[in-house]
Structure 1
Amino acid sequence: MITSSSESQAAAFREGRTPPTEQLDADTVVIAVPTGDPGNSFTLCSVLFGTDGRAIVVDPGTDTPEGREHLLRELRDVGVTTLTGIVVTHLHPDHLGLAGVLREELAAPVLMHRLEDEAAGSTPPGPAELAAALDAWGVPADDTTVRPWSEGAAAPAGHLGDTRADRTLEDGDLLALPGRTIRVIHTPGHTTGHLTLRDEDRGYLFTGDHVLPTIFSGLGLGARTAENPVTAYLSSLERIRVHDGDQVIPGHGFRFTGLAERCDELAAHHLRRADEVRSVLADDPEADVWTIASRIGWSAGWDALTGLLRVSALTQTAWHRARLLQLAD
């Protein structure tokens, strides 16, 4: 059963406000950093103290004036004077944004998975690449919902992340924090280099956006990868569901227990979409991505999906189709 470990965080999440800082134990603090986004009002930033008094910060949050002031004040209030590292679970600005600020303020290195750092320095696909994808997906030439994007109607950002790593991390690494055993677990899916941290002695699991208590995280929201994000995500869920007894500290929402059940819910959500794709292919084995996507029961309805939302729907459909065809081989 999924159970909230923090009623104040759960209530604040429901009401769209920022909850107060919480002390999990003498050496572990969770600070809710405001994002400035009404639909995603705060990021949970964790502070892990070692026996030498130094600390590691995990996911410092969005770089807004309010977020910056709030985080620096709260860090001072909980006694942070020296950081040994700033760990970022993935490159999205609501997790990575304030890492550069903390590096400057406290002379601490930024750490992220090697693949995420590589993605932070890469350039996202442009209109020409999108046009090629739309052609491959069977999008009609006279379409007005996504074709304008392939003609430069919406220019992508020049890069995916604003801050590069000072040191990179790999699966299985242990963070240098005296008196604590904090292990890195590579959990791709949401992004290619997404990582989860596990405090092996205290049973804390810091999941970033890999597992959230109520939200179904999007997949493939980082750099392009040869690995199918759906396949990667389902495998990543299996990797961490074995830590069912741990308390989960996610990037958003609230602390909770019941990890295995939540992992099963998340997997079922994506497998239901796979079943819809499979059903279309059973009736029409040669159906292209556009045809399949138009027959899927999207929450908002297919006709309501335009622009980025339709591109995302087509991309997800392509991944599910590719995965099912691979499994059928």
Structure 2
Amino acid sequence: MPHWTTPGSYEISPGVFRIPLPLPEGPPAINVYAVADGDDVVLIDSGWATEDGERHLVQGLERIGFEPSGISRFLITHWHTDHYSQALEVRRRHGTPISLGVGERATVEWHAAGAEAARASSGAAATLARAGAHDMIAMMHGVPDVRVELPDHWLEGNPRIVLRNRTLVAIPTPGHTNGHYSFWDPGARLFFTGDHVLPRITPWIGLETAAGRLPLGDYLASLLLVQTMPDAQLLPAHGPTMPSAATRARQLIDHHHGRLDRTLDAVSSHGVTAFDVAHRLRWTRRDQRLGDLPAPLRPYAVIETVAHLDVLVDRGAVQVVESDGVALYSR
């Protein structure tokens, strides 16, 4: 059995193929899913617009009898570069329409206006300032510019996407991003979950230009939705497929409940910042301290700590007051 990152085209179900594409940073690869639709093909996510990514996508499509000009539509789970940017390149060449969740609109419009405009109004920078991690804002400003354009269609509600041989149901699964969508194939019992449900890791929460009010609360509610739906095979954006999306959703819910407990334990009675709490927690499966994480990951960890603290405040387990723009949490 090849490693999930091995290039190729792998048939998951009749007419549905997984095409792993390499990524220049972050996870080693992304799974793009090709759904045959008669003489055309629909892609769920698209990969990062790099020369390697394009080459592997073209080769993957050729193995199943298609080419980029035959892509009839892109269904994009969320706006992040590794999912969205190659669809934009294909659209420039072939006019292929792109669909994206309407909850991504504010973030996409800000990025489309230019990187500096997006950073100036960045929810991530505001979150770090509120967390007492002002020095980390410069780390976020070191993130490469993101070239983003608007999609052709905004997904709203639970639209049914009717193809020749199947119907996909678009399911809003906010949390990782405000407008994240997953796509459910009830006939074939397949669940294309993007970054919402991943088999080996949990996605970062709260890292948005246009931050939601309670991103972890949204994420947990979206996981519960997956757990309570008719079970289906998990087809994630990163990692191998798994037989049960519901089982993995339950594991992720349990993980975050445990994380909430540990976050609560790290809050003292006299008031601490989210930056303080992040230093008291352990990170990754290697139980690393915040200072031992690679520098680019430390702001992500602080922002995720804020997301957990905000849920605890919402539940009444923690109190928060603000002093000079910095949130102080206490029990």
Shared fold (TM-score, shorter chain, > 0.5) = yes
Structure-2 residue corresponding to 1:142: none
Conserved? CA contact 2:129–2:137, under 8 Å? no
Separation (CA, whole Å) in 2 of partners of 1:240 and 1:130:
27
Separation (CA, whole Å) in 2 of partners of 1:122 and 1:154:
15
TM-score (norm 2): 0.82
Q: Percent identity?
A: 25
Separation (CA, whole Å) in 1 of partners of 2:140 and 2:12:
47
1:136 pairs with 2:137: no
SS in 2 for 1:18: coil
**Which amino acid in 2 is paired with 1:222?**
E
1:287 pairs with 2:275: no
**Which amino acid in 2 is paired with 1:137?**
A
Structure 1 residue 204, shift from structure 2 partner: 0.7
**Which amino acid in 2 is paired with 1:136?**
R
Separation (CA, whole Å) in 1 of partners of 2:172 and 2:131:
30
Structure 1 residue 321, shift from structure 2 partner: 1.6
Which of 106, 112, 119 is 1:118 aligned to?
106
**Which amino acid in 1 is paired with 2:109?**
G
Structure 1 residue 131, shift from structure 2 partner: 7.0
Q: 1:284 to 1:294 in 2, by over 3 A?
A: farther
* Structure 2: stretches of 5+ with no match in the other structure: 112-117, 318-331
Aligned ranges for residues 38-49 of structure 1 at < 5 Å?
40-49=27-36
Aligned ranges for residues 1-329 of structure 1 at < 5 Å?
7-8=1-2, 12-13=3-4, 17-37=5-25, 40-50=27-37, 52-80=38-66, 82-123=70-111, 124-126=118-120, 133-139=127-133, 147=135, 149-150=136-137, 154-157=141-144, 159=146, 161-243=147-229, 245-281=231-267, 283-284=268-269, 286-298=271-283, 299-305=287-293, 307-328=295-316
Separation (CA, whole Å) in 1 of partners of 2:140 and 2:36:
47
Separation (CA, whole Å) in 1 of partners of 2:222 and 2:259:
18
Separation (CA, whole Å) in 2 of partners of 1:209 and 1:135:
27
Conserved? CA contact 1:32–1:44, under 8 Å? yes
**Which amino acid in 2 is paired with 1:85?**
R
Cα deviation code 1:61-114 (max 9, x no counterpart) = 111112112212322331236332111111122111210232234431011111
Q: 1:317 to 1:25 in 2, by over 3 A?
A: closer
Structure 1 runs of 4+ aligned residues shifted over 3 Å read: 123-136, 149-159, 305-308
Higher RCO (CA 8 Å, separation ≥ 6 residues) = 1
Conserved? CA contact 2:214–2:307, under 8 Å? yes
168-177 vs 179-188, greater mean Cα deviation = 168-177
SS in 2 for 1:122: helix
Q: 1:73 to 1:233 in 2, by over 3 A?
A: same
Structure 1 residue 187, shift from structure 2 partner: 0.6
Conserved? CA contact 1:244–1:258, under 8 Å? no
Conserved? CA contact 2:121–2:209, under 8 Å? no
Separation (CA, whole Å) in 2 of partners of 1:97 and 1:128:
20
Cα deviation code 1:109-141 (max 9, x no counterpart) = 0111112243222144449977765553345xx
249-258 vs 17-26, greater mean Cα deviation = 17-26
